[in-house]
Amino acid sequence: MKKINIFLVLLIICSILMGAWGMTSDLPYSRAAVEIAVIGMSVKMGTGDLNPHIFYYPHLFLYILLFFFGLFFIAGKVIGIFPTVGDFQNLFFVNATAFYIIARCVTLFFMAGSVFLTYLIAKKAFNKKIAMISAAFMTFNITNVQLSHFALPDIPVLFFSLLAFYFIVRIMDGVDWKIYFLGGFLIGLATATKYQGLFLVLSLFIAHFLSLKRKSIKDIVITRKLPLAGIGVFMGFFLGTPFCILDYRNFVTYFTRVTGSVNSLSYGFASYRVNSMLPVYIIKDLLPFAMGILMSVLCIIAILYALKKHVKADIVILGTIILFLTYVIFSSWSYLKPRHIIHLFPLLFILIARLLYDTSTMLFKRENMARSIFLGAVTFLVLIPSVGHIYAYEKGITRRPIHIEAKTWIETNIPAGSKIAMHDGIPVNPNKKSIARKLKEVQDKKIGQGTKLEVMLTNRHLFPVVYDIYELPYPWRYDFDESDFDFERHINEGVRYFVFTEELSHYAKEPQKHKLQLKYYDSVKNSCALIKRFDSEYLRSELGVTEPSYIVIYEYKKEKM
């Protein structure tokens, strides 16, 4: 019987605890807009339509969540909590806390699995000590900790990418066709979680090349193993997100829009933008934000060291990193966040761990206690900055977010049924009129199916306090026009309250680009009185956001005109 690796178990437990810390502080209203959309689409599929009709992300993670929500329903039905499907659906609309906790626990499982898989890959590629250091770096990486707090596709794609990469590393040893098929199948599942997983096909090809004793064109190409891997990729992708194939027209439309967004200036705000040459941006801004300055410096040194050593494991790891970053650079991405390259982090950590291990072998010729103490001490010192970042983040994530405070204040101080123009993100419940107005806009502009809005119409009676909401859409939504930011029209239609979030600060950074929004805000400031402001300390989340978060509420007063 193999001994249990106590240190690895402790690291996995730490990764779970750090992700679970503050899990319920923002519930039942998530801090993350993408998480709200992900869980909403998963629940919606429970009505029977398994096609989400939205393809910004592929759908495997949605189906995984749907499976666990289904188990939750079955358990609730058995014990009498949900006599009908309607009761189950009503719980989601009235208080979705249970759904978020289930989904976030699934994310924690994927994070714990990612730590374990990093250990397995490093152990297979190098040795056990390098594997332990790599797992420690994964556990205490600030980006991983941040993303493991929410039910987003980023941690699941990390897990499936690492699972696929484990089989890719095995391919280097010259294995049979089953490993090729499994490797390809898992690449398909990774791609079905987030599109970046497809680049592991190139990693598999590199591993195949390294496994050959002879490197002739015939040996490389004429083999049944590569076609089997390709079949595996297609099967994994199709099983994980079938409607990307079955509803390919919508898929192509959305996918083109996503790839076009990261290559243009039409998406998001200036704070997320690449503001220098991409290679410089990655080294100077992205990596330090994602893993700390010290770890970033070690990362560059480790890459150079791996280029010098270039053993098989180095080649497949470096090939994976370099090929994906080359694609990003030559595609001229205008927006690049740590989550976009999250599947590369464990490979970088493995290279750093190997660098530290080889340094210890140069300083201590024999395998002894002194070498182990040196490795442990250096690893601890390298992790100190990361632990500091994690502590600050965990402290912030436990605070009650201001969007919930704002909702409570609005429902207490603004009469129900009032007309409010506001940014999406504050969970104030819309009335029948505002839902119908938004549904008509969605249908007229052909920007979605409107299924969620139709369900909201039938469930609006569940909310005791509702308002007539005039949504102020964000620029990246592609569905706004001048009428959405027409102050005079809103006043004439009876809007008396205006609620803005910190997106105003981003608009102000690019006044030429956001003239419409800034003109609207200026009209509000000149014609209305500020009646409430909410401020919170900055919660480190995305690259470039430095100002405190805030919400401001204005009331229209005729005497100001």
Between the alpha carbon of residue 74 and those of residues 85, 270, 416, 529, the distances in Å are: 10, 46, 36, 51
**How far apart, in whole angstroms, are the C-alpha atoms of residue 485 and residue 473?**
9
- Supply φ then ψ for residue 171, to 5 degrees: -60, -30
Q: Where are the domains of the chain?
A: 6-62+100-397, 402-560
Which has more pLDDT, 559 or 508?
508
Residue 469, SS3? strand
Q: Which helix (H) or strand (E) holds 553?
A: strand 549-556
**How far apart, in whole angstroms, are the C-alpha atoms of residue 61 and residue 57?**
9
- Least Cα distance to 323 among 347, 297, 305 occurs for 347
Which has more pLDDT, 475 or 560?
475
Mean pLDDT of the chain: 86
The encoded tokens of residue 439 equal 């549904």
CB 15 within 8 A of CB 92: no
C-alpha dihedral, 537 to 540 to 544 to 545, nearest 10°: -30
CA 328 to the chain's CA centroid? 18
Which residues are registered as beta bridge partners of 420? 469, 497
Lowest-confidence pick of 158-167, 335-344, 371-380, 429-438: 429-438
- CB atoms < 10 A from the CB of 414, how many? 20
Whether pLDDT at 182 is above 90: yes
For tokens 């470096």, the residue is 318
Angle at 121 (CA atoms; ends 116, 124), nearest 5 degrees = 125
Whether pLDDT at 546 is above 60: no
Between the alpha carbon of residue 128 and those of residues 174, 357, 369, the distances in Å are: 22, 11, 16
**How far apart, in whole angstroms, are the C-alpha atoms of residue 246 and residue 268?**
30
List, for residues 20-74, the tens digit of each pLDDT value. Answer: 998 898 888 888 878 888 998 898 888 788 988 888 889 999 999 999 999 999 9
CB 338 within 8 A of CB 353: no
